Amino acid sequence: MIDAELLLRILHRIDQLSERPAGSPAKRITTESFVDLVIPAQPRAEAWGQVNRHLEFLAQEGLISTAGQEAFSEKYHGISMTAKGQVYLQPELAQFTGPVWGQVVTIIEQHIHEAPVPREQKQSWIHKLREAVADQSAQLVTQVIFEILRTGLLR
């Protein structure tokens, strides 16, 4: 099962690891860079599997790119965030390529976090909203907003 919160934690970690002072070498970002984000009580092999499933999802969605998997270890390497991933992580960046969705997303996410609905539903709404903004799809953003409006969450 894909955990939306873990997806965000992974994206934030990639963003942190990608930042470096001028002239310093790039950090090698691999599956190992995210294992500590998974529940610590899990055996290491299960944690790797969970991280890899989430990395595969992020890559399939176009939010990250990888240089592939290393032979025998199944460890992803050469992980970096795409421009779409940056917009997903920071919706306010969408204003540079289209409408000012960042402010809209911030307001809607505040309402979602305050909503009296299960955590999984909140995660689903936030993921759909951020994905729509990252795809720069006004129609999809509108559909997500209408779905949320039907619940009576936004007034």
Average pLDDT, the chain: 80
Q: Which among 36, 51, 84 is the end of a domain?
A: 84
- Assigned domain for 32 exists: yes
From 84, 102, 130, the end of a domain falls on 84
- What's the average model confidence in pLDDT over 39-48? 78
How many domains, the chain?
2
- Predicted pLDDT at 112: 84
For 137-142, which contacts have Cβ atoms below 8 Å and span 24 or more sequence positions? 138/98, 138/99, 141/101, 141/104
Is 155 a domain residue?
no
Q: Are residues 58 and 115 in the same domain?
A: no
Sign of CA dihedral 103, 108, 111, 112: negative
Same structural domain, 107 and 53: no
**pLDDT at residue 97 greater than cutoff 70:** no
Do 70 and 114 fall within a single domain?
no
Beta-carbon-side half-sphere exposure of residue 155 (alpha carbons within 13 Å) = 4
* Residue 74 and residue 11 share a domain: yes
Asked whether residue 46 is domain-assigned, the answer is yes
Banded pLDDT at 91 (limits 50, 70, 90): confident
Question: CATH number, domain at 49?
Answer: 1.10.10
Domain boundary among the residues 84, 106, 135 is at 84
The verdict on 77 and 95 lying in the same domain is no
